[in-house]
Chains A and B, each alone.
Chain A
């Protein structure tokens, strides 16, 4: 391990360094302290970046543990400054420097807003000792308009399990569905996530930041995150008076898709304790084009909205949030087959038998999904140290799936009923207490409860059930001298699952109860401002999902019969990760993480003989069973300035997933993948900022490591995709800003199929796609009311 680090960093040290050079007459200094505007506490390790508006030169530094920062050797002139901190909203200001200055930044603290608590130092809801990566700012802009599952593939170690290009489920280190947790605005997403063709019902336009925490060990949100946690976080509500918002427009050439998302928010000048926000998204796309043909009936349409409001007093804060997600997704008609002979016919034909033309029309087969989230959150500061929080959330998910053909019976056909229909309602409640430094300790503890009811109509696949869970958890963190932080957490879970199912003309009502305890231990070592080591060991625990226990029947999407197993016991993961971060601003960002995930009782669909004979022919049959498995891997991402304005990026992830009981590989695991990129960043001018252009080449190897007798056809071959992207912020004379970008994926229009896409049996993957993105933020704040930062004169 250590040798690997040394080799790795040795290699990068050999690259030429580009140090910032300053003219000798530049001798001015800027110093000061960074504070929390709410409580006037100092904020350690805030990041401050200065930009000389004349020359475009950029310098940056971190504040020290007492919040102090300093710049020397500054030239005179006009500067823009940005100050940011994990817990806080970034503040921007401009000033003119003619002599040495002292300036103290005051950052509005986010801490009261739900999502950010998750990553703040004060709230140990998820471990700080686990590797994490986020999409925000430019990286989020580059994937705006894509579905959540697709967008997350920009993160190293995250892949997408796809059913065509419109249904993408995130997969972290080879684990997906019920083995990862998705938190939408702080609430765990509850839908029919067991299905491989059931994508998360979340509008990524609601997010200002999307974070992935890799590995087991979420104490607060649930112990079942064996693979990791995805946090979809909206920005904090506006806290300075005025009306603002943003308009996002995105277009894709391949399927002639257009998206529009509008957000409006306001903090009332006369009632400064009240803020609100509304947001809505419309999305429409047509048939997807592969390099050789179009996929009939692969369109998508989506309409989402959300509304949030917050009110606060000195010690008390209340927030309400509601969001609704509605989608209709066409399923490429060539992928809906009757039996295995049809599958082989489709696989062996050069092009699908379905029509090859463009249309926005979505016909059968299709999915129609609605998801609602309503949330109330109360927050009370008991003292300077202690805070209490209570959350109630209700989710309602309705999933309708329509088969390719209407019933032959005309009167049934006229009803146009879905062939599969599920409704699930979840109530979630949480109370937690959080404390800031008591001696060297910070921590939190809480209790959560959830009640869930699932009903179905149409074809049977999973039974009705009622699911109740309760948990208590606690985490504490010990802050040593700046070098070392330790954390530990424990959680106990109880789950009661009541099933209601017809069997031999009688309703049976089996009850399953499960209980378990999990924990996490971790440490961070900050060797210097640049280097940090994270080590973490955690356990996670997941009781069998209802489909694993009770599904019984033909999975039309997969041309296989799945049989549940009522004797399944919970699976337990023992996960260890070590990550090394190197952050040297404007020079190098690097992270390498290795993980080892040992799962006892891993639940998987094991092929069994004989195949199931139905009137449609014989189908391969899988029965859920359990085994000891290991998932080991390494993720690497490096970004380094190579010369002048050029920077290079490299990414790679490798995973080995092994079934120790069967001495065989695990099915549906991501193949090794690597990416190399080169980017050029222009220096800022008065009117154009953050302009860049870049190219990246991604190589995905063939998945050679698949289990025997578990798939219809061998995995598809390796492929290489080229991507181009460029973007900039344009600033007009009146201060109005417009951000725009272009991305071209699969530039060479490569014909390929991906192992993790179920459509690999039926059709090629998407061809070249040009994406155009425009974002227009707007703000109607009267100038004299700007509160956050005053300019220095």
Chain B
């Protein structure tokens, strides 16, 4: 009985081994998938600046890194230029220009506003920031896709824009969660 069983087991094992081994072969080596990876990447941050009184577009301030998280330097990195003692509306647009068609990542951030928040740090230039939007948390927490900047006297400095991803842990605190965006713009108020 035992040896009959063994005679059965042995060939089965050999056959099973030889079949499972042939899973996949190397035909696809010569055609690598395009480098573009639409999964998570965004490579452009734009500040859409409008005059709060007139409602006219003042400027679009762009940061663009042509290869996402590759080693190339940003190809566009504008300076934020504002006039003293004025109030501006600043909306944020996030793009993945490596995707075709271009992916508007800020829409996805908006859809998940309850786990994202922008933070702004100003040095040198006197700018007061106010959030104009909020999320669905209770109590609601700011998001920062829509903002108001109030400028002070003429000065030069920097504006740092940080986007934090805080899934399930959003608390309005800049040290919580992972950093998705960290871009600093030269800022001139004159």
Interface residues in chain A, defined as those with a beta carbon under 8 Å from any beta carbon in chain B = 243, 266, 268-271, 274, 276, 278, 307, 309, 320, 322, 324, 336-339, 341-342, 345, 353, 372, 374, 394, 396, 403-405, 407-410, 412, 417, 419, 423, 425, 453-460, 463-466, 500-502, 507, 509, 552-554, 561, 563, 612-617, 621
Q: How far is the CA of A301 from the CA of B79 in the complex (A)?
A: 51
- C-alpha spacing A423/B23, complex, angstroms: 11
Assess the B6–A614 pair: CB atoms within 8 A: no
Find out whether the CB atom of B17 lies under 8 angstroms from the CB atom of A320. Answer: yes
Q: Which of B108-116, B126-134, B143-151 contacts A (4 or more CB under 8 A)?
A: B108-116
- Say yes or no: A408 contacts B40, CB within 8 Å: yes
| CA distance in complex: A465, B13 (Å) | 33
Q: Which residues of B contact A615 (CB under 8 A)?
A: 42-45, 63, 65, 68, 181-183
**Quick one: given A270-B3, A507-B32, are A425 and B25 in contact (CB under 8 Å)?**
yes
CA distance A341 to B182 in the complex (A): 9
A307, A324, A500, A616 interface centre (most CB from chain B within 10 Å): A616
* Interface check B54, CB cutoff 8 A: no
Given A322-B13, A425-B24, 12 more A-B residue pairs with CB atoms under 8 Å apart are A276-B13, A307-B16, A309-B10, A407-B38, A407-B39, A464-B31, A500-B31, A500-B32, A552-B70, A554-B69, A613-B73, A614-B68
| Contact of A553 with B69 in the complex, beta carbons under 8 Å | yes
Which of these, B13, B26, B35, B169, contacts A278 with CB under 8 Å? Answer: B13
Q: Are A276 and B9 in contact (CB under 8 A)?
A: yes
Asked if residues B10 and A500 are in contact (CB atoms below 8 Å), the reply is no
* A720, chain B: closest CB distance, angstroms: 33
16 A-B pairs with CB atoms under 8 Å apart are A307-B17, A309-B10, A320-B14, A322-B21, A324-B20, A336-B178, A338-B178, A339-B179, A353-B169, A404-B178, A425-B24, A453-B26, A456-B33, A464-B30, A500-B31, A617-B183
Which A residue sits closest to B167, measured CB to CB? Answer: A405
Chain A contacts of B30 at CB under 8 A?
A: 464, 500, 507, 509
Q: Are A423 and B6 in contact (CB under 8 A)?
A: no
A456→B103 CA distance, assembly (Å): 23
> In the assembled complex, which residues on chain B have CB atoms less than 8 Å from the CB atom of A337?
178-179
Task: Say whether, besides A271-B3, A338-B180, A457-B33, A405 and B26 are in contact (CB < 8 Å).
Answer: no
**A613 x B178 contact (CB < 8 A):** no
Q: How far is the CA of A563 from the CA of B72 in the complex (A)?
A: 10
Q: How far is the CA of A234 from the CA of B24 in the complex (A)?
A: 27
Q: Pick from A341, A374, A553: contact of B21, CB below 8 A.
A: A374
Say yes or no for B138: interface residue by CB 8 A criterion. Answer: no
Q: How far is the CA of A466 from the CA of B29 in the complex (A)?
A: 7
Q: Nearest chain-B residue to A502 (Cβ)?
A: B35
Which of B18, B21, B26, B165 is the one whose CB lies under 8 Å from A338?
B165
| B13 partner, pick from A309, A341, A509, A563, beta carbons under 8 A | A309
Which A-chain residue is minimally distant from B30 (CB atoms)?
Answer: A500
Q: B18 to chain A: which residues have CB within 8 Å?
A: 322, 374
Residues from chain A with Cβ under 8 Å of B45 in the complex: 615
Cβ–Cβ < 8 Å partners of B179 in chain A: 337-339, 341-342, 616-617
Q: Which residue of A lies closest to B73 (CB)?
A: A613
When the two chains form their complex, are residues B39 and A412 in contact, meaning their CB atoms are under 8 A apart?
yes
A-B contact count (CB 8 A): 166
Measured between beta carbons, the chain B residues less than 8 angstroms from A456 are 32-33
Docked pose: A404 CA to B165 CA in angstroms? 11
Q: Name the contact of A322 in the complex, choosing from B20, B31, B63, B74 (C-beta under 8 A).
A: B20
The smallest beta-carbon distance between A513 and chain B, in angstroms, is: 17
Residues of A near B71 (CB, < 8 A) are 552-553, 561, 563, 612, 621
Q: Which of B28-78 contact A (CB under 8 A)?
A: 28-35, 37-40, 42-45, 63, 65, 68-71, 73-74, 77
B105 to nearest A CB, angstroms? 7
Confirm or deny: B176 has a beta carbon within 8 angstroms of a beta carbon on chain A.
yes
| A320 CA to B2 CA, complexed, in Å | 22
Which residues does chain B contribute within 8 Å of A500, judged by CB atoms? 29-32
In whole Å, how far is B186's beta carbon from the nearest beta carbon of chain A? 13
Chain B residues within an 8 Å CB radius of A459:
37, 39
Provide the bound-state CA to CA distance between A412 and B17, in Å: 35
How far, in angstroms, from A585 to B178 measured CA to CA in the complex? 59
Q: Are A396 and B44 in touch, CB under 8 angstroms?
A: no
Q: Mark B91-129, 1 if CB is under 8 A from A, else 0.
A: 000000000000101001101100000000000000000
Q: How far is the CB of B109 from chain A (nearest CB, A)?
A: 7
Q: Which of A336, A372, A621 contacts B23 (CB 8 A)?
A: A372
A562: nearest chain-B partner, CB-CB? B71
CA distance A269 to B7 in the complex (A): 11
Q: Is A345's CB under 8 angstroms from B14's CB?
A: no
Chain B, Cβ-Cβ closest to A619: B69
Smallest Cβ-Cβ distance to A424: which chain B residue = B26
A interface majority secondary structure: strand
**B residues in contact with A372, CB < 8 Å:** 20-21, 23
Write the nearest CB–CB distance from B41 to chain A, whole angstroms: 8
Instruction: Find out whether the CB atom of A612 lies under 8 angstroms from the CB atom of B6.
Output: no
Q: A453-B29, A500-B32 are in contact. Are A274 and B20 (CB under 8 A)?
A: no
Contact yes or no, B39 A266, CB < 8 A: no
Chain A residues near B176 (CB-CB < 8 A):
353
The answer for the CA separation of A426 and B179 in the assembled complex, in Å, is 39
B74 contacts A455, C-beta separation under 8 Å: no
Docked complex Cα distance between A409 and B107 (Å): 9
Closest Cβ neighbor of A337 among chain B residues: B178
Residue of A with least CB distance to B32 = A464
* With A270-B3, A307-B17 as contacts: A553 and B70 at CB distance below 8 Å: yes
User: For A320, what are the chain B residues with a Cβ–Cβ distance below 8 Å?
Assistant: 14, 17
In contact, B73 and A612 (Cβ under 8 angstroms) = yes
What's the nearest-Cβ distance from chain A to residue B171, in Å? Answer: 10
Is there contact, CB below 8 Å, between B165 and A425? no
CA distance A353 to B177 in the complex (A): 8
A268, A274, A455, A621: the one within 8 Å of B26 (CB) = A455
Asked whether A458 lies within 8 Å of B39 as measured between CB atoms, the reply is: yes
Query: In the complex, A537 Cα to B18 Cα: how many Å?
Result: 41
Contact at B21–A276, with CB atoms within 8 Å? no
Give the residues in chain B near A465, CB-CB below 8 Å: 29
B10 to chain A, nearest CB (A): 5
Closest 5 CB pairs of A and B: A453-B26, A338-B179, A322-B17, A408-B108, A617-B182
Determine whether the beta carbon of B23 is less than 8 Å from that of A408.
no
Residue of B109, B169, B179 most packed against chain A (CB within 10 A): B179
Bound CA–CA A458/B9 (angstroms): 41
Q: Are B26 and A408 in contact, with the CB atoms below 8 A? A: no
Name which residue of chain A comes closest to B99, CB basis. A409
Interchain CB contact under 8 A, A396 and B24: yes
Which residues of chain A are near B14, meaning CB under 8 Å? 309, 320
CA distance A615 to B35 in the complex (A): 18
Assembly CA distance A500 to B24 (angstroms):
19
In the complex, what's the smallest C-beta–C-beta distance from B52 to chain A, in angstroms? 27
Chain B 152-179 against A: per-residue CB contact (8 Å), 1 yes, 0 no? 0000000000000101010000011111
Complexed CA–CA distance, A374 and B24 (Å): 14
A403 touches B28 (CB 8 A): no
- C-alpha gap A613/B185 in the complex (Å): 12
B9 & A408 in contact (Cβ 8 Å cutoff): no
In the complex the two chains form, what is the Cα distance from A615 to B66 in whole Å? 10
B178, A266: Cβ atoms closer than 8 Å: no
Residues of B near A353 (CB, < 8 A) are: 169, 176-177
A507-B181 in contact (CB<8A): no
Using A307-B17, A322-B20 as known contacts, say yes or no to A501 and B10 having CB atoms under 8 A apart: no
Give every chain B residue within 8 A of A409 (Cβ-Cβ): 38, 103, 108
Contacting pair B13 A425 (CB below 8 A): no
Measured CB to CB, the nearest residue on chain B to A563 is B71
| Chain A residues within 8 Å of B42, by CB | 615
Neighbouring A residues of B38 by C-beta, 8 Å: 407, 409, 412
A320 — nearest CB in chain B belongs to which residue?
Answer: B14
Contacts of B183 in A (CB 8 A): 615, 617
Within the complex, what minimum Cβ distance (angstroms) separates B141 from chain A? 17
Q: Are A419's CB and B43's CB within 8 A?
A: no
Residues of B within 8 A of A269 (CB): 3
**Bound Cα distance A531, B47 (Å):** 77
User: Shortest Cβ distance from B143 into chain A, in angstroms?
Assistant: 14
